[in-house]
Amino acid sequence: MAAVTEYISRNSPIHRLNPLTKMIWALSILGMGLLFNDYRYLLALLASVLLVAAAAGVLRSLLPAAAGLTVLALVLLLVQALFYGQGQVLFYLVPISNRLAVTGPGLLSGLAMAARMMALVLSFLIFLATTRTRDIVLTLVEKLRVPYDYAFMFTTALRFIPAFLSEVRQISEAQQARAYAVEGWNPVKKIKAYAPVAVPLVLLSLNKADQLAMAMETRGYGGGRRTCLRESKMGTADYALSAFLVLLLAGSAAARLAGYGLM
């Protein structure tokens, strides 16, 4: 499985935007997603996020992640629909017995939750897929004045995910090649059965962290004031788009206060 937090190299207008602009975009999606709870607004928001992904040419690469999120979204939908408890009963999940009622408003509220979750997560994944890690660091440090240590920690954590997944795959292949198979449904047995994968994984990860620390020190990490080779530049498009997004978010807040987008 490909890691979903990786940069995907394309030459799209979205890729060329300044990381700061994309960060503002992801944050305004977050803001708008939390402001409204009408399913129509949130579905529109989700559609706009998918459009951005298509414009960036990363929609196909994000499909596996989106499919995974859909499962989660369905769970959200089901839970909401079951426990909302108001409004007209549409049908019962256990037929005849009048148990586990699913109501119309419950279903719609579940739909809203699911759309909100997907829009927020996907916007963040699109930000990561269209922005090089080094550019994120540069923007965090240069533009947002985040201390370099924190920016570095953030990006190391991101970098670690794909490396971690690849280790998990290699380890489980090595154990399967020695006729290892997780069998049965006994949870205690299942947990114990993960030792052949978990133990090498922990040892390798510790080792990797140790080596990373050494490599950083030998290259003078923490040796004084840092300077940057490249500059993070905001173009006209970046300023225009950022301004538009901020206005949009402010407008949304105003609309919400006026009572729009609520259910």
Partner 1 sequence: MQRKAQIKVDKLTYHYGTGPPVLKDISFEIEKGECIALIGQNGAGKTTLAKHFNGLHRPSSGKVYIDGTDTASMKVSELARKVGFVFQNPDHQIFHDTVAREVAFGLKNLRLSPREIEERTAAALEAVGLAEHRQTYPFNLSKGQRQRVALASVLAMRTEIIVLDEPTTGQDFRESVQIMEIVRKLNENGHTIIFITHDMSLVARYARRVLVLCRGEILADGDVRSVFAAPEILKKTYLRPPQITNLAQRLGRHSIPPGVLGVRELYELLVKMRREKIGCCN
Of 79, 90, 199, 216, the one binding partner 1 by CB under 8 A: 199
Assess 206 for contact with partner 1 (CB under 8 A): no
Of 204, 212, 248, 255, the one binding partner 1 by CB under 8 A: 204
Assess 203 for contact with partner 1 (CB under 8 A): yes
Q: What contacts 136, CB < 8 A, 6 or more positions away?
A: 19, 151, 154, 155
Assess 174 for contact with partner 1 (CB under 8 A): yes
Q: How far is CA 151 from CA 1, 123, 144, 169, in A?
A: 27, 20, 10, 28
User: In whole angstroms, how close is the CB of 1 to partner 1 at the nearest point?
Assistant: 8
In angstroms, rounded to a whole number, what is the distance separating the alpha carbons of residues 217 and 223? 9
Assess 209 for contact with partner 1 (CB under 8 A): no
In angstroms, rounded to a whole number, what is the distance separating the alpha carbons of residues 23 and 29? 10
- Of the two residues 206 and 243, which places its CB atom closer to partner 1 in the complex? 206
In angstroms, rounded to a whole number, what is the distance separating the alpha carbons of residues 33 and 249? 10
User: In whole angstroms, how close is the CB of 50 to partner 1 at the nearest point?
Assistant: 19
Residue listed under structure tokens 């256990």: 94
Assess 170 for contact with partner 1 (CB under 8 A): yes
Q: Per-residue string for binding with partner 1, 55-84, x by CB under 8 A?
A: -----x------------------------
Of 180, 239, 244, 260, the one binding partner 1 by CB under 8 A: 180
Contact between 261 and 255 under an 8 Å Cβ cutoff? The reply is yes
Question: Chain-centre distance of CA 183, in angstroms?
Answer: 32
Contact between 250 and 29 under an 8 Å Cβ cutoff? The reply is no
User: In whole angstroms, how close is the CB of 91 to partner 1 at the nearest point?
Assistant: 39
Chain residues binding partner 1 by CB under 8 A are: 2, 60, 167, 170-171, 173-181, 195-196, 199-200, 203-204, 207
